[in-house]
Amino acid sequence: MRAQPLLIARTLVDGLVEAAKINQGIYFVRSNDNVEFLSYKSLLEKSLNVLYNMREQGINKGDKVIIHVYDNSDFIVVFWACLFGGIVAIPLSNSNTKESHRAVIKL
């Protein structure tokens, strides 16, 4: 297998757009030892679809969005949607403490 040329992008978004042109991606190891592959092309398409849906809900550039998902691949897709849209992504942990609740309220 030939090594892919190094991609040089000005932004992360540009980097994903360029990476989507090659057959590579991200592997997610699940708790049951299954491995899921998400190609950069699929990540790009899914992220733009999520961004479209965010726009339909009235979420615009500069808005804050709390991301609270349990699946890592879903998190990656929503995070990239935020990057593409200029939306401020706020990852929320699964913590269930008073301190974490207060932190969310302050947002």
> Tell me: the pLDDT tens digits for 52-64?
999 999 999 999 9
What's residue 97's pLDDT? 65
Angle at 25 between CA 11 and CA 81, to 5 degrees: 50
Q: Which two tokens stand for residue 55?
A: 């726009």
What's residue 37's pLDDT? 94
- Which of 22-26, 32-36, 96-100 has the least mean pLDDT? 96-100
Residue-wise pLDDT for 45-90, tens only, equals 999 999 999 999 999 999 999 998 888 899 999 999 999 999 999 9
Q: Which two tokens stand for residue 86?
A: 């200029």
Q: Which two tokens stand for residue 74?
A: 């879903």
Nearest to 26, CA basis, from 74, 69, 65? 74
Nearest to 51, CA basis, from 99, 8, 84, 20? 84
